């Protein structure tokens, strides 16, 4: 019989290829051992040398060969084959590692999903289909297992993106001495029954939406701040730099309707001038205007219009053109007399009647 027992890992890949590995640096330090195997039964066995070795720092640490039957015998010898270091007999069917599930399909019904795969040709009753899933808010995978080759789960939130992966598990100890499972099938991503490239797409779209809304909110806030600042600036501007009334609107009909004829304009607007005089004239101006009226009556009531109108700038220069300019743009604290009415013009107001 075989002697010794070592910790060797035995894997039968879907009953197609065998892989035997051992820890050569611990079991056979500084020695390059040889490996041989046979699937024959009975006394007349034909041992085959390993043709595909697995290496660990240039030392043989395993062998890969084709699965040829349900029973297997292996032998490990020293480098020249003179001494057997380890041997073992086993059932290859008890070490099967299944392949990944093939033709995986996802069928959605509202919040329920059914995942199926192609049924293997051999020993399907020994296999279980395992489904794992998680949303982007979950840290751990949720797992469901069912008979080969369909599993059903429910309770999925249509607003969440889920990651799915499936694999086949070999039952132990009824079918395997080791609980081997296949590698995971490629991960897929679903949201509300729709296949996505990844759940990052959903996160990216939400992030883009948040960024756009944030930018719009910031723009509206900036517009509101600018509007508030503009209103406050207008108030400050009005208080610091008050608006100066334009006299051209007050005397617009003098030039438009009367072609600059002041006497004609005064005759037509006696009531307006008198009302303006009574409304805006200060007490000092009224007293001054009354005294000047008395002096005017005593001096010469029949004086022509040119003598009645007196302008400080025009009187000094004896220039009629200057008088007209002074009428339109009066100097500071200038007093003009029109047919008994006195107009006082100062810095604060263009015209005071």
pLDDT in tens, the chain (353 residues): 566 677 889 999 999 999 999 998 888 888 899 999 999 988 888 999 999 999 998 899 999 999 999 999 999 998 888 888 888 999 999 999 999 999 999 999 999 999 999 999 888 999 999 999 999 889 899 999 999 999 999 999 999 999 999 999 999 999 999 999 999 999 999 999 999 999 986 544 555 567 888 888 888 888 888 888 888 777 766 676 666 666 555 666 666 676 767 777 677 766 555 555 555 444 444 444 444 555 554 445 444 434 433 444 444 444 444 444 444 444 445 555 555 555 555 555 444 44
Q: How far apart are CA 30 and CA 59, in angstroms?
A: 8
**Cα atoms in the Cβ-side hemisphere of radius 13 Å centred on 326:** 24
Smallest CA-to-CA distance from 121 within 222, 14, 202, 24 is with: 14
Torsion of CA 24, 28, 32, 36, to 10 degrees: -80
**Torsion region of 166: left, alpha or beta (phi above 0 gives left; psi -120 to 50 gives alpha):** beta
Distance between CA atoms of residues 57 and 196, nearest Å: 44
* Residue closest to 168 by CA, chosen among 122, 111, 107, 109: 122
Give the span between the Cα atoms of 189 and 348, in whole angstroms: 79
DSSP code of 304? -
Smallest CA-to-CA distance from 180 within 251, 127, 250 is with 127
**pTM confidence score:** 0.55
Domains of the chain: 8-97 (2.60.40.10), 105-196 (2.60.40.10)
Each residue of 137-148: b (16+ CB within 10 Å) or e? eeeeeeeeebeb
Pairing of strands 59-66, 127-135: unpaired
Measuring CA to CA, which residue among 42, 3, 50, 6 is closest to residue 27?
Answer: 6
Q: What is the pLDDT of residue 20?
A: 96
What does the pLDDT read at residue 292? 53
Q: Specify the residue for token string 């003009």.
A: 336
pLDDT at site 316: 45
- Residue 204: what pLDDT? 47
Which helix (DSSP H) or strand (DSSP E) does residue 325 occupy? helix 320-328
């Amino acid at each position: 019989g075989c002697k010794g027992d070592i910790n060797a890992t035995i894997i039968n890949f879907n009953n197609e290829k065998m892989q035997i590995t051992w820890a050569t640096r611990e079991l056979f330090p500084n020695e390059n051992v040889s490996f041989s195997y046979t699937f024959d039964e009975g006394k007349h066995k034909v041992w085959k040398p390993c043709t595909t070795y697995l290496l660990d720092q240039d030392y043989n640490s395993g062998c890969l060969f084709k699965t040829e039957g349900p029973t297997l015998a292996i032998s490990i010898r020293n480098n020249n084959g003179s001494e057997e270091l380890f041997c073992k007999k086993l059932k290859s069917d008890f070490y099967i590692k299944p392949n990944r599930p093939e033709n995986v399909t996802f069928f959605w019904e509202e919040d329920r999903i059914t995942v199926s795969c192609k049924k293997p040709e051999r020993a399907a009753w020994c296999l279980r289909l395992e489904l794992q899933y998680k949303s982007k808010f979950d840290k751990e995978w949720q797992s469901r297992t069912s008979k080969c080759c369909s599993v059903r789960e429910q309770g999925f939130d249509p607003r969440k993106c889920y990651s799915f992966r499936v694999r086949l598990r070999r039952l132990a100890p009824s079918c395997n001495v080791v609980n081997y499972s296949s590698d995971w099938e490629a991960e897929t991503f679903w949201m509300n029954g729709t296949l996505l490239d990844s759940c990052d797409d959903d996160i990216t779209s939400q992030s883009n939406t948040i960024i756009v809304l944030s930018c719009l909110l910031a723009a509206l806030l900036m517009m509101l701040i600018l509007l508030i600042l503009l209103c406050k600036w207008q108030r400050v501007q009005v208080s610091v730099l008050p608006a100066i009334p334009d006299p051209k609107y007050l005397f617009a009909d003098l030039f438009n309707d009367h072609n600059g004829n002041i006497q004609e304009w005064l005759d037509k607007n006696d009531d307006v001038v008198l009302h303006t005089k009574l409304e805006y004239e200060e007490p000092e101006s009224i007293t001054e205007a009354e005294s000047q009226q008395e002096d005017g009556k005593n001096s010469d009531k029949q004086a022509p219009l040119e003598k009645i109108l007196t302008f400080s700038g025009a009187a000094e220069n004896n220039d009629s053109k200057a008088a007209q300019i002074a009428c339109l743009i009066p100097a500071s604290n200038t007093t003009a007399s029109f047919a008994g009415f006195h107009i006082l013009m100062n810095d604060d107001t263009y015209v005071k009647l």
